[in-house]
């Protein structure tokens, strides 16, 4: 879970209350089937009349829905946003009828693409919101084992014993530190209603896998609140899962000391000529190993980003040397995952060791990497464009955040 320690602005609280107020409008819209009416292409005038006899009130109501991203107003015409059409229109097969939790169809939709090559019988055990459903040809529910696929809310010897030797166990649920604010609130509400589901611990789960001699995948996010780990006695069975390199990599990176990781388009990285002036005139390490003028120029960086289509923005924190080692580890992990073009940019002057201070040793250093700023990247503009809150610090007592960039392919 990402916590923004720099954000001390009232605007954050105002936004939170704004979401709370917008949710009451959402419930009102659902009660009058507003999104159904928009999907049916009813006139804007008719829709406003169904909301309120007060034309101004109806206008404000629709304006709020537009700001929330549920509907789009273009040239006086109303349209549902894609997510609204998919989950909030009653005729949709994915209609999200329960606003207090994730429904079965949503989770099946996210899980099934990962199981394209998995066939045979499946079984459900444990407390999580999946129910038996016709999934697809080649995969059918059964009450008798051993099973080719088990969906479980936990993992133990009893569950593992019910799985076929080459079968797969999907341990699905809320994993500590990997769910959102809404997930945390839902867990609290479920506890009060005596319907609490266990919160899983990834490290403990891996310990169980080791004890049971099971191979396992990284922790894979299914939604903002649900994640899954696949385990099997047969490593080849896990390789049949349709997991992208990207999902495997992000799952592995989440186990490092990273505050957050976000996929971005390298074309959105902002570069500028002025950035290096801050290095040249404002930093005492200018001219050292991986600092300017030894780092790439902003024009060179622009050209380099054009060779990549996928990158990860990595958020971390001091100490500087620890964050830089983390970025090197992330680069190595990406390379081993199959991203042979992987290259990392870290934050700040090199803090790995004191050996390359002037006069530099004759042996070339292979672990130094340029910082984002030394390569002409406008870190503030790049990070803020991705929705992060980043501000300059008034003094050394304030909490600092570091950002690194991992180019993939």
pLDDT given at position 228: 95
Task: Give me the helices (H) in 123-194, please.
Answer: 157-161, 181-192
Burial class (CB in 10 A: 0-12, 13-18, 19+), 133: exposed
Beta bridge partners of 220: 228
Summarize the confidence of residues 346-359 as an average pLDDT: 78
Percent of the chain with pLDDT over 70: 94
* Dihedral sign for Cα atoms in the order 348, 353, 357, 362: negative
pLDDT given at position 65: 94
Beta-strand relationship, 163-175 and 139-141 = unpaired
Phi and psi for 152 in degrees, rounded to 5? Answer: -135, 150
Summarize the confidence of residues 58-64 as an average pLDDT: 93
Token code pair at residue 113: 């693409």
Phi and psi for 295 in degrees, rounded to 5? Answer: -95, 165
| pLDDT band for position 309 (cuts 50, 70, 90) | very high
pLDDT given at position 282: 86
Pair 214, 255: CB distance under 8 Å: no
| pLDDT band for position 265 (cuts 50, 70, 90) | very high
Nearest residue to 205 via CA among 214, 192, 196, 195: 214
Instruction: Write the pLDDT tens digit of every residue in 155-180.
Output: 999 999 999 999 999 999 999 988 88
What whole-number distance in Å separates Cα of residue 261 and Cα of residue 314? 5
For residue 232, what is the enclosing H or E element?
strand 227-232
What whole-number distance in Å separates Cα of residue 288 and Cα of residue 229? 44
Tell me if residue 167 falls in helix, strand or coil: strand
* Residue-by-residue DSSP string for 129-141: S------BTTEEE
pLDDT given at position 194: 87
pLDDT given at position 105: 77
Pair 123, 208: CB distance under 8 Å: no
Summarize the confidence of residues 57-69 as an average pLDDT: 93
Query: Residue 118: is its pLDDT beyond 60?
Result: yes
Instruction: Write the pLDDT tens digit of every residue in 135-162.
Output: 778 899 998 889 999 999 999 999 999 9
Phi and psi for 364 in degrees, rounded to 5? Answer: -70, 135
| pLDDT band for position 325 (cuts 50, 70, 90) | very high
- The verdict on whether omega for the bond into residue 293 sits within 30 degrees of 0, i.e. cis, is yes
Summarize the confidence of residues 47-73 as an average pLDDT: 92
E strand spans, 301-353: 311-316, 343-345
| pLDDT band for position 183 (cuts 50, 70, 90) | confident
Phi and psi for 132 in degrees, rounded to 5? Answer: -60, 135
Phi and psi for 165 in degrees, rounded to 5? Answer: -60, -35
pLDDT given at position 215: 97
What whole-number distance in Å separates Cα of residue 78 and Cα of residue 65? 11
Question: End-to-end CA distance of the chain, in Å?
Answer: 27
Beta-strand relationship, 147-152 and 163-175 = parallel
pTM of the model: 0.80
pLDDT given at position 387: 87
Tell me if residue 168 falls in helix, strand or coil: strand
Instruction: Write the pLDDT tens digit of every residue in 26-39.
Output: 999 999 999 999 99
What whole-number distance in Å separates Cα of residue 76 and Cα of residue 53? 19
What whole-number distance in Å separates Cα of residue 344 and Cα of residue 312? 10
pLDDT given at position 315: 94
| pLDDT band for position 6 (cuts 50, 70, 90) | confident
Q: How far is CA 210 from the centre of its chain?
A: 27
Query: Residue 380: is its pLDDT beyond 60?
Result: yes
pLDDT given at position 255: 84
Q: Compute CA distances 95 → 78, 130, 325, whole Å.
A: 20, 16, 45
Summarize the confidence of residues 296-317 as an average pLDDT: 93
Instruction: Write the pLDDT tens digit of every residue in 187-232.
Output: 888 889 888 778 999 999 999 999 999 999 999 998 888 999 999 9
- The phi-psi region of residue 117 (left if phi > 0; otherwise alpha if psi is between -120 and 50; otherwise beta) is alpha
Query: Residue 358: is its pLDDT beyond 70?
Result: no
| 192: number of Cβ within 10 Å | 9
Token code pair at residue 302: 């622009």
Query: Residue 101: is its pLDDT beyond 60?
Result: no
Domains in the chain, ordered, with CATH?
10-87 (1.10.10.10), 104-243 (3.40.50.150), 260-407 (no CATH)
Pair 37, 47: CB distance under 8 Å: yes
- Count the residues in the chain: 409
């Amino acid at each position: 879970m990402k916590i923004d320690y720099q954000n001390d602005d009232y605007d954050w609280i105002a936004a939170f209350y704004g979401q709370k107020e917008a949710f009451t409008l959402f419930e009102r819209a659902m009660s009058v089937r507003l999104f159904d009416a928009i999907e049916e292409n009813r006139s804007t005038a008719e829709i406003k009349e169904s909301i309120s006899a007060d034309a101004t009130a109806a206008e404000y109501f629709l304006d709020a829905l537009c700001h929330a991203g549920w509907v789009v107003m273009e040239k006086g015409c109303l349209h549902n946003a894609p997510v609204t059409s998919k989950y909030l229109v009653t005729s949709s097969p994915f209609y999200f009828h329960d606003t207090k939790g994730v429904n079965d169809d949503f989770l099946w939709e996210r899980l099934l693409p990962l199981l394209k090559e998995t066939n045979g019988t499946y079984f459900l055990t444990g407390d999580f919101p999946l129910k038996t459903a016709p999934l697809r040809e080649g995969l059918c529910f059964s009450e008798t084992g051993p099973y080719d696929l088990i969906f479980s809310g936990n993992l133990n010897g009893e569950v593992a014993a019910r799985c076929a030797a080459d079968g797969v166990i999907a341990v699905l649920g809320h994993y500590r530190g990997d769910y959102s604010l809404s997930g945390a609130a839902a867990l609290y509400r479920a506890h009060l209603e005596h319907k609490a589901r266990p919160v899983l611990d990834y490290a403990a789960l891996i310990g169980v896998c080791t004890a049971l001699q099971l191979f396992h995948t990284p922790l894979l996010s299914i939604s903002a609140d649900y994640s899954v780990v696949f385990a099997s006695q047969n490593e080849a069975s896990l390789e049949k899962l349709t997991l992208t390199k990207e999902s495997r990599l992000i799952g592995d990176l989440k186990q490092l000391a990273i505050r957050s990781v976000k996929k971005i388009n390298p074309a959105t990285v902002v570069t500028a000529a002025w950035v290096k002036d801050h290095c040249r005139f404002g930093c005492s390490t200018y001219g050292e190993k991986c600092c300017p003028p030894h780092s790439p120029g902003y024009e060179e960086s622009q050209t380099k980003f054009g060779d990549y289509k996928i990158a990860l923005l990595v958020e971390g924190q001091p100490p500087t040397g620890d964050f830089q080692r983390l970025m090197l580890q992330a680069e190595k992990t990406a390379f081993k995952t199959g991203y042979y073009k992987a290259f990392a940019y870290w934050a700040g002057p090199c803090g790995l060791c004191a050996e390359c201070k002037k006069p530099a040793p004759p042996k070339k250093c292979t672990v130094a990497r340029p910082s984002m700023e030394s390569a002409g990247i406008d870190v503030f503009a790049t990070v803020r464009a991705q929705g992060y809150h980043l501000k300059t610090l008034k003094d050394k007592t304030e909490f600092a955040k570091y950002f690194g960039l991992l180019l993939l392919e």
